[in-house]
Structure 1
């Protein structure tokens, strides 16, 4: 038992499951019944389905995140990482961003660490790749793409221009297809403000080892999405993998080679590797092995759900699919968190546990402004939508699914303003290194020769668009 007067419910992770489970527990809990402590390296939860739109500038980055302390005012929020768990003593070791690590006792534990990007030992990937798991990466990608347009517009070197205007995306699932669709839309729209860049100068490449893209929405909509991207001029290489990308020289397994300053990696996720330090039973891929009640197997006081858990899919198994597991998506995470929260309260009070069971309601995906696909399931019936209607369903679903009415209103306000105002195409890459300019001004002058401008013939200088 913990040393606190009240039992402590420790929630490890502040993502989908962590946030929603903590809210559910606080809502169901009687006053003073327990202390709820949430530990996460970030003080906010990121609504990941909105990251592609944040990268394209359709949604403000502040509206993609939900501050934990504001949404969980009755919980104790600690900013740090849980590095290990002693199950015998029921103590977790927390490493804060600054200072020494310390122990937090608990009586009940919720493991909701989520997932991290799944990578492979590909030469150059660690140095060149950009992920899409956090809002920082989405905004960094936006600034980076616009900086490449700035670079291409300001040089006369064709090799530099070609490398700057080539963009490679690896992964054709939700994250990859949505991100390339949104970013290509933004970049093409931005070219009208650049003197020497036409939309035809842009080269977008999508690479995936699978036979089709967007498998989550079914083969028919996936095929439509593939043809739609190709019509927009996006190169798609299926059944193809990335072999290397050292210094921006991209080599694919189908012998295609190109130079690019931009490599976006969205080739799947894997459970957080920190789970290996928790002493919990893990599945073959590193997920926490749980019962249908979301209790960790072999325990009566630990629960887990979401991307880091191996949860039996009872609905699929009843339909005849053997060894079916719940897919790692927001639809399941949201509903698992509510059942998990109820089960923690039931476990604390000595009541029976409830099994998690949910049949998929379909899937939606956006491929840029006014372009999307949606598959809606109502019982045994499935309805498919594409184009503008699919895009409306995509925005409607996620607009209502984002946590708190505060964020819902802000997101819909961003979308409404986007109907009447032009998209912002300014790069704020300097915010990633805000002290550079001051450091240069304050540091002693370096003894270096002044740059010499090279004379460029007038016919090779960048042209300026009329108007």
Structure 2
């Protein structure tokens, strides 16, 4: 790929998640014509709005409506749908994955690292074979299909043990992703039971495992306890200070000594910095995050910036040494400061530090239920549920997606949930492949 000319610097944004996309949007709006070119590189041509994945998995939202295509949002920006495999900043060159084999070089003048994070997977026996992640739209769709398929399996089970296994759902991780996914999917499954005459909601077993002593630390201790009590009243078995030690062949073994079989295991036990960071040569902290200054510039690396989940951004509102949590709220606000500082550096102007006091947190726990802490205000139940939907509607990029989400929510309130498992979508070529194989055998 060609590099830009010397008098037109190229700003390369690596990653198009909440941080990367918003950096590109602000650069596009604030750079003068011809001042610089903007290139965004990401393996996907869209942003996934992860806070609404749980509702997409539960069928409240059309999965396509929680993703935002990049090209309509970034007109005039070069969008390259590739994976960056390494970066040599001394040569101002990124290397992109190529079908031809050898990585393809892409020159730049300024780089902004925002590749995000990946699921943190621990070496638990059987986890790689049995676990289901919950970070992408594909995983959300798969999980929905899988839960509904487990109800079908239970309805036609030939033994009580098979039925009990199919109706046991285990979620590992008590943060936002795990709690919201569990609450929404349990709500969906309970509603679906009315279409399965032989299955009562009380026959399902939902288990939440959390290695620490509380869930939802983001909403504060008091609201975390309220959430745990609410979920327990709904029949969910919440086990704090408990770790998964094995899940070989679906047999769950916990460090508290208990064992049982489960047909579903969802892994949401944290995230890890993107592995690309180890191939960039930039300074990293002990957890593998990029070391940055309060201006979001990479330490001792001129012309390089980083933000979002991949960066250890100093939190100037807390004690020295504290870093900002990996949340969408921080990512969007860091994007504004990072873009402004990139432009300021190009123009030789003064930089401004990133300083943001969290406005609070919201979480949805199924239809009409939620928890929220907005500054000093604590909400629960319907008010929190409304605050959750309002906040995410306002922060969802583009009016196109906001209107589609409102339409989905309205229809979901007026009509029953869809309970069709479209697992065939995940294996779309299987029928054709089998037919081709059968035709080959006949010849």
Work out whether 1:173 is the aligned partner of 2:175: yes
Tell whether the 8 Å contact from 1:2 to 1:90 is kept in structure 2 after alignment: no
Aligned residue number for residue 461 of structure 1: none
Q: 2-side partners of 1:311 and 1:15: how far apart?
A: 17
Determine helix, strand or coil for the equivalent of 1:443. Answer: helix
Work out whether 1:103 is the aligned partner of 2:101: no
Tell whether the 8 Å contact from 1:2 to 1:107 is kept in structure 2 after alignment: no
Deviation at 1:417? 1.3
Work out whether 1:231 is the aligned partner of 2:230: no
Q: 2-side partners of 1:134 and 1:113: how far apart?
A: 14
Q: 2-side partners of 1:342 and 1:8: how far apart?
A: 16
Deviation at 1:99? 5.8
Tell whether the 8 Å contact from 2:4 to 2:10 is kept in structure 1 after alignment: no
Determine helix, strand or coil for the equivalent of 1:182. Answer: helix
Q: 1-side partners of 2:191 and 2:102: how far apart?
A: 49
Q: 1-side partners of 2:178 and 2:17: how far apart?
A: 21
Deviation at 1:446? 10
Q: Which moved more, 1:223-232 or 1:151-160?
A: 151-160
- CA 1:50–1:27 in 2, change beyond 3 Å: closer, same or farther? same
Unaligned runs of 5+ in 2: none
Deviation at 1:3? 4.5
Aligned residue number for residue 438 of structure 2: 444
Per-residue displacement from partner, 1:343-389 (whole Å, max 9, x unpaired)? 11111111111110000111000111111000011xxxx01000111
Deviation at 1:258? 1.1
Per-residue displacement from partner, 1:22-48 (whole Å, max 9, x unpaired)? 000000011122111111111111011
Q: 2-side partners of 1:47 and 1:407: how far apart?
A: 10
Q: 1-side partners of 2:384 and 2:290: how far apart?
A: 35
Tell whether the 8 Å contact from 2:85 to 2:103 is kept in structure 1 after alignment: no
Please give the TM-score of this superposition, normalised by the length of structure 1: 0.92
Work out whether 1:4 is the aligned partner of 2:5: yes
- CA 1:73–1:423 in 2, change beyond 3 Å: closer, same or farther? same
Deviation at 1:220? 0.8
Deviation at 1:155? 2.4
Determine helix, strand or coil for the equivalent of 1:365. Answer: strand
Determine helix, strand or coil for the equivalent of 1:294. Answer: coil
Q: 2-side partners of 1:73 and 1:246: how far apart?
A: 49
Determine helix, strand or coil for the equivalent of 1:88. Answer: helix
- CA 1:4–1:99 in 2, change beyond 3 Å: closer, same or farther? farther
Aligned residue number for residue 382 of structure 2: 388
Aligned residue number for residue 53 of structure 1: 55
Aligned positions of 1:317-336 closer than 5 A: 321-336=319-334
Aligned residue number for residue 435 of structure 1: 429
Aligned residue number for residue 412 of structure 1: 406
Aligned residue number for residue 425 of structure 1: 419
Match of 2:37 among 35, 38, 57: 35
Q: 1-side partners of 2:437 and 2:308: how far apart?
A: 49
Tell whether the 8 Å contact from 1:173 to 1:214 is kept in structure 2 after alignment: yes
Aligned residue number for residue 147 of structure 1: 149
Deviation at 1:162? 1.1
Aligned positions of 1:132-281 closer than 5 A: 132-281=134-283
Match of 2:95 among 85, 93, 96: 93
Give the structure with higher Rg (CA). 1
Tell whether the 8 Å contact from 1:117 to 1:266 is kept in structure 2 after alignment: yes
Q: 2-side partners of 1:441 and 1:14: how far apart?
A: 39
- CA 1:97–1:141 in 2, change beyond 3 Å: closer, same or farther? farther
Aligned residue number for residue 73 of structure 1: 75
Q: 2-side partners of 1:196 and 1:4: how far apart?
A: 69
Deviation at 1:322? 3.2
Q: 2-side partners of 1:436 and 1:117: how far apart?
A: 28
Deviation at 1:100? 4.6
Tell whether the 8 Å contact from 1:115 to 1:269 is kept in structure 2 after alignment: yes
Per-residue displacement from partner, 1:59-117 (whole Å, max 9, x unpaired)? 11001101111111211111111111112211110114676521100000000010111
- CA 1:229–1:169 in 2, change beyond 3 Å: closer, same or farther? same
Per-residue displacement from partner, 1:282-325 (whole Å, max 9, x unpaired)? 01111100000000011231111000000111112xxxx23211
Q: 1-side partners of 2:335 and 2:100: how far apart?
A: 30
Aligned residue number for residue 354 of structure 2: 356
Please give the TM-score of this superposition, normalised by the length of structure 2: 0.97
Aligned positions of 1:103-122 closer than 5 A: 103-122=105-124
- CA 1:359–1:269 in 2, change beyond 3 Å: closer, same or farther? same
- CA 1:220–1:98 in 2, change beyond 3 Å: closer, same or farther? farther
Root mean square deviation of aligned Cα: 1.5
Per-residue displacement from partner, 1:197-237 (whole Å, max 9, x unpaired)? 11011110000111011111011110110000000001111
Q: 2-side partners of 1:51 and 1:444: how far apart?
A: 39
Deviation at 1:256? 1.4
Q: 2-side partners of 1:258 and 1:52: how far apart?
A: 26
Displacement over 6 Å in runs of 4+: none
Determine helix, strand or coil for the equivalent of 2:245. Answer: strand
Tell whether the 8 Å contact from 2:282 to 2:301 is kept in structure 1 after alignment: no
